[in-house]
Amino acid sequence: MSETILIKGGTIVTMDEKNSIVRGDVLIRDGRIAELGRVDSAATTIIDAEGCAVLPGFVQTHIHLCQTLFRGAADDLSLIDWLKKRVWPMEAAHTAESIRASARLGVAEMIRGGTTCALTMETVRFTEEVLRVVEETGFRATVGKCMMDKGDDVPAELHEQTQQSIRESVELIEKWHGRAGGRVRCCFAPRFAISCTRQLLTEVSELSRRHQVLIHTHASENKKECEIVEAETGRRNVAYLDSLGISGAHVLLAHCVHLDGFAACGRRGLQQPARHVHGNAHRGAVTETCSRTRSSASPAGPAHGYDRWGARPGSGKRNRQSGGGQAGRRDCGQTRSIAFEPATGCRVYFSVLSAICGCDDGDNRRPAPDARRRVAHARRSQRRSRSKSRGERFGGAGGSLSLGKDLTQRAQRFS
């Protein structure tokens, strides 16, 4: 007997040509949408979605699952100091066990928040542990092993030889890309221009086309980063990557906050405009967007002007300490226009989220500052409580929280 799930009485946010929002039911049979609307069929599992929204799962278009356990350990630092003083030492201290716990916790948090798909860049070592977690949990992800063959103050555990870095990345792609019916995918993930040699970036450009996989890297997140790249190469960050062949529909550049002076290059100088994130970065059909990241050290980039060179700003967020947030795109496993047409047999990757209601008096104005503070305090308390219970679930006594503390202590040796 086939497995069926009936979601009843929800507000269904479709992704048809009109972006219709309808009230009704969704019947899922063997992991695919079978009926939509008023459904009278019996089902083995029934979910009451009254008062909830039923929508395609969100897509997280830039996350480091290996950094989930770093939460709260790297506040209020600029990008370069953040990397050298906190993140690189903690990544160097990772073990296979801690990477696995970090990935499991990160995936659990995304699923809980309605995210069903992610594009991830991991650290230099133990990336296969993340791929195993993705396969085991039923999550969808494109995962890249971080590549670093250059840079000052890089711990020895993260500093690779060029050919070794390329060989290990290719081996992961050949072993894992397309596993679990295409749910698990791989990409090349050179960290950013500062930590990668010209030779590595050039070879990655060629190999990505040969293996038909994405390139996922960072660009123009921080002004100091942009200055270093320009001093070393004589080019602006994105223009330098483009000169090495890292541009086009298969390239995703995270952040792109500081693109001032790039508009002229975007119109005349680039060989192929790259796809920027956050957006639907899974599969080859990528939504063209530019990131609007916000953290203590990297402000949001300008929202205007991107449409002139074929990019639409996306809504997304990444908390630097947690290594992830929810991105503002929806994931249906197929293209936008056919997502909720039952006849297509679209695979089901969607969420049932509680409806967000306005004030009782219908006033949708922003709450007063003191009310916002109370809400923020309540949410922080809620997150602390949830983090504690998740740590216990994901690793026994102490769980991920204990591993996180051990990791911070080990990282001191690499600082």
Please, what are the averages of pLDDT over each run of 10 residues along the chain (415 residues)? 87 87 91 88 91 90 94 82 90 95 96 93 98 96 98 93 98 98 97 97 98 96 93 94 93 86 46 47 30 39 50 41 37 30 37 36 37 51 51 44 62 61
Residue 415 lies in a domain: no
Residue 364 lies in a domain: no
Beta strand pairing call for 115-121 and 52-63: parallel
Q: Are residues 257 and 156 in the same domain?
A: yes
Q: Helices marked H in 94-196 — which ranges?
A: 96-112, 127-137, 162-176
Structural tokens at position 62:
């830039």
Nearest C-alpha neighbor of 195 from the set 219, 169, 170: 219
CA-to-CA distance for 67 and 89, rounded, in angstroms?
12
Nearest C-alpha neighbor of 343 from the set 36, 4, 6: 36
Nearest C-alpha neighbor of 35 from the set 380, 415, 378, 346: 346
Residue 360 lies in a domain: no
Find where tokens 């530019």 sit: 290
Find the Cα–Cα–Cα–Cα dihedral 298, 303, 304, 307, rounded to 10°.
Answer: 110
Residue 148 lies in a domain: yes
The count of structural domains within the chain is 2
Distance of CA 40 to the CA centre of its chain: 38
pLDDT for the residue 414: 58
pLDDT for the residue 331: 47
Q: Are residues 16 and 130 in the same domain?
A: no
Residue 372 lies in a domain: no
Nearest C-alpha neighbor of 220 from the set 309, 150, 118, 300: 300
Q: Are 28 and 22 in contact (CB under 8 A)?
A: no
Q: Are residues 90 and 179 in the same domain?
A: yes
Provide the residue count of the chain.
415
pLDDT for the residue 385: 53
Amino acid at site 374: R
SS3 label, residue 246: coil
Q: Are 256 and 220 in contact (CB under 8 A)?
A: yes
User: What CATH code is carried by the domain that includes residue 28?
Assistant: 2.30.40.10
Q: Are residues 213 and 286 in the same domain?
A: yes
Residue 397 lies in a domain: no
Nearest C-alpha neighbor of 56 from the set 250, 312, 282: 282
CA-to-CA distance for 213 and 250, rounded, in angstroms?
7
Sign of CA dihedral 134, 256, 250, 326: positive
pLDDT for the residue 48: 93
Final residue belonging to a domain, choices 276, 301, 332: 332
Q: Are residues 178 and 248 in the same domain?
A: yes
pLDDT for the residue 14: 85
Give the structural domain span for 21.
4-56+339-354
Q: Are residues 263 and 315 in the same domain?
A: yes
Q: Are residues 221 and 344 in the same domain?
A: no
Q: Are residues 125 and 40 in the same domain?
A: no
Q: Are residues 225 and 139 in the same domain?
A: yes
Taking the alpha carbons at both ends of the chain, their separation in whole angstroms is: 57
Q: Are residues 179 and 253 in the same domain?
A: yes
Nearest C-alpha neighbor of 39 from the set 56, 61, 22, 17: 22
CA-to-CA distance for 398 and 76, rounded, in angstroms?
27
Q: Are residues 146 and 76 in the same domain?
A: yes
CA-to-CA distance for 223 and 258, rounded, in angstroms?
7
Residue 371 lies in a domain: no
Residue 72 lies in a domain: yes
Single pTM value for the model: 0.73
User: What CATH code is carried by the domain that includes residue 94?
Assistant: 3.20.20.140
Q: Are residues 223 and 272 in the same domain?
A: yes
Nearest C-alpha neighbor of 21 from the set 45, 44, 52, 46: 52
